[in-house]
Structure 1
Amino acid sequence: MRIHAIQTGTVAIKARQVSGKGSGSLRLINTILDKEWTEPLPIYVWVIEHPEGLIVIDTGETARAAEPGYFPWWHPYYKSVREAMRPEEEIGPQLRTLGLSPNDVRWVLLTHLHTDHAGGLHHFPKSQILVSRAEYQAARGFRGQVKGYLPQHWPTWFSPTLIDFAPEPFASFPQSYTLTKAGDIHLVATPGHTLGHYSVILQENDHVLFFAGDTSYTEQLMLEQSVDGVTSNIAVYRETSRQILAYLQSTPTVYLPSHDPDALERLVTRKAALPVSAQRVSGAKTEAHQWRTEKKTHAPC
């Protein structure tokens, strides 16, 4: 197998979104009103050249995010996001530079449906796209827009395969779904950042790669059990974080959140999150394919 890390632009968010303050609706208000911004964070997409087919985890952002009117003017959250993205940074063109075609992708695994993870959907009309049923139902229609999703920008052909996570424990996770016949890739329910969020676990020799989506913005925040500033259910978020930490403590794990600036290096070196997995085994060949933005273009809100 080969594993590729592809950066599809950057996003800067409020500092309180990374680690929140307050409870209930006050938590989101504190995030929106925060005057401190993060540095531009990467928007990573992960590509697995698997024997059973080409797999893409999340689709990154679209360059359309820079167009006037892409983000709804009436939604206060989008005043808390600054994205930088060029057309050539989208997932489709970047796959082609690797000698891969979007049409050859068998599975697209969407950890959740926020635009920086689903904006590149239009590149994959021939792929099987897997979304949790809970996430899809939460993101649809005007109610989805109120919650911060952008279903109005989904391709007209978008009809994902909906995953109902069975009560089949996988290590510390009570709900899971096995993707491959080889049994080396599992989807595990990790609600918290969104209601239907899931993560992807790839077994690689005697360690695993944990494609975390937005279960936390950095590895350190997960180790600290910090809670983000946009979750609607702190208790669920904390329980998911507890399950992930228990997994990191029991299994040699390379933890890869989508916006962690250090995730690329950890993937290349196979650096595990905790000392339990200090012995690194170099498994699949990794090719880091990372675009660097030369000019920042902030999406209007």
Structure 2
Amino acid sequence: MKIHHLNCGSVREIDPTCGGLPSAHAVNHCLLLETDAGLVLVETGLGLDDVHRPNETLGAEWVQMAQPTLNEEETAIRQLERRGFDPADVRHVLLTHLDVDHCGGLPDFPRASVHVLDAELRAALAQAPSRRYRPAHWAHGPQWRTYESTDDTWFGLPAIQPTGLPETIKLVPLSGHTAGHTGIAVHDGTRWLLHCGDAYYYHRELLADPEPHPVLDIVQTSSEVDHDRRISTQSQLRALARDHSDEVTLFSAHDPWEFGRLAG
């Protein structure tokens, strides 16, 4: 399986908390996977409609807060086209959750099956429209594939095998940020990558002595649905990063320095 790291929507510029790193725009870190089951997207970031009609699809409040650059060339569909792929060949989209910056590109891939935890879809349909959930992103009627609890595990964490996808791809529920937030694990042939979504926001949160980012932590704490579960999830991820560093690489959705290291 070949893996491409994509930034599908730069947002406000932030500074690192330690020396040696440049200031950078926070990202929407997505993956494009070339698999035997066809092309697979992990997250979509912002889509064409978001670039052209941001106040309508994303919501004016979110646009003011996030300050997206709204560059059409950063959308997943345009990045696929530049790589010579037909967007119609995207058969599956896996989402950590349904916040606007994680699923805004869904309308650009209307034929894809969309994999998400059942609790997340139920919360989104019940709460939309809100700053978090915007119905414009699923007005086209996605082919939802939803999942509930599981007895399977992956490095000691619950894991779900998505229907129609190889065993080198897993959903790894990571609760706290939203009602049905999940990580997405992908094996690159050598080691596992775990897309942690918004389970944490900044690479230094995985340190033994965690150091949240002063700007990103405002977003993180203001958008959590269960504080205790979010903190417990981060503790589990910290242990995973510590105990299995030779087998698993963790990254979050918005840290630009993680993205630069992996995409580079």
- 1:99 pairs with 2:94: no
**Is contact 2:27–2:256 with CA below 8 Å preserved after alignment?**
yes
Please give the secondary structure, in 1, of the residue aligned with 2:179. Answer: coil
Q: How many angstroms apart in 1 are the aligned matches of 2:24 and 2:14? A: 9
Superposed displacement of residue 144, structure 1? 3.0
**Aligned partner (choices 38, 43, 51) of residue 28 of structure 2:** 43
* Residues 217, 257 of structure 1: 8 Å contact kept: yes
In structure 1, the residue matched to 2:18 is: none
Q: Deviations 1:34-87 (Å, cap 9, x if unpaired)?
A: xxxx953112221111233321100110243353632445xx665422111122
Local SS of the residue matching 2:97: coil
Deviation of residue 205 (structure 1)? 4.1
Partner of 2:237: 244
CA RMSD of aligned residues (A): 2.6
Q: Which of 131, 141, 145 in structure 1 is aligned with 2:129?
A: 145
The answer to whether structure 1 residue 231 and structure 2 residue 231 are counterparts is: no
Give the whole-Å Cα distance in 2 for the aligned partners of 1:117 and 1:159: 17
Counterpart code for 2:8: T
1:7 corresponds to which residue? Answer: 7
Out of 91, 96, 99, the position equivalent to 1:114 is: 99
Shift in Å, 1:182: 4.8
Identity %, equivalent residues: 26
Counterpart CA distance in 2 for 1:233 and 1:14 is 26
1:19-58 correspondence runs (5 A)? 40-58=25-43
Counterpart AA for 2:66: V
Aligned with 1:214 (options 170, 173, 198): 198
Give me the whole-angstrom Cα distance separating, in 1, the residues matched to 2:50 and 2:90.
24
Alignment length (residue pairs):
244
- TM-score of the pair, normalised by structure 2: 0.81
Q: CA deviation at 1:206?
A: 4.5
What residue is the counterpart of 1:80 in the other structure? Answer: 65
Confirm or deny that 1:255 pairs with 2:250: yes
Q: Could you say if the C-alpha distance between residues 153 and 127 of structure 1 is closer, same or farther in structure 2, counting changes exceeding 3 Å?
A: closer
Unaligned stretches of 5+ in structure 1?
16-37, 269-287, 289-301
The structure-2 alpha-carbon separation of the partners of 1:167 and 1:91, relative to structure 1 and needing over 3 Å to count, comes to same
Structure 2 CA distance for partners of 1:149 and 1:164, relative to 1, 3 Å: same
CA distance in 1, matches of 2:191, 2:54: 45
* Structure 1 Cα separation of the partners of residues 92 and 46 of structure 2: 18
CA distance in 2 between partners of 1:184 and 1:154 (Å) = 27
| C-alpha spacing 1:133/1:104, structure 2 compared with 1 (3 Å) | same
Alpha-carbon distance in 1 for matches of 2:165, 2:7: 29
Kindly tell me: are residues 54 and 165 of structure 1, through their superposed partners in 2, closer, same or farther at Cα, counting changes over 3 Å?
Answer: farther
Preserved contact between residue 139 and residue 147 of structure 1 (Cα < 8 Å): no
Separation of aligned partners in 2, 1:190 and 1:225: 20
| Aligned counterparts of 2:118 and 2:66: Cα–Cα separation in 1 | 27
Q: Offset of 1:147 from its aligned partner?
A: 6.0
Structure 1 residues 52, 72: closer, same or farther in 2, change over 3 A?
closer
8 Å contact kept, 2:112–2:142: no
How far residue 98 of structure 1 moved from its aligned partner, in angstroms, is 0.8
* TM-superposed deviation, 1:197: 0.9
Alpha-carbon distance, 1:114 to partner:
0.9
Letter in 1 for 2:88: N
1:69 aligned partner: 55
Q: Is the 8 A contact 2:9 2:69 kept in 1?
A: yes
Larger radius of gyration: 1
Describe the shift of the 1:152–1:203 C-alpha distance in structure 2 as closer, same or farther (beyond 3 A).
closer
Correspondence for 1:164 among 112, 123, 148: 148
| TM-score under structure 1 length normalisation | 0.72
Q: Quote the Cα distance in structure 2 between the aligned partners of 1:181 and 1:122.
A: 21
Structure 1 residue 194: deviation in Å?
A: 1.2
Give the deviation of 1:220 after TM superposition. 1.4
- Larger mean CA deviation between 206-215 and 107-116 belongs to 206-215
SS of the residue aligned with 1:243? helix
Q: Which secondary structure does the structure 2 equivalent of 1:165 belong to? A: coil
CA separation in 2, counterparts of 1:13 and 1:191? 27
TM-aligned CA deviation for residue 248 of structure 1: 1.5
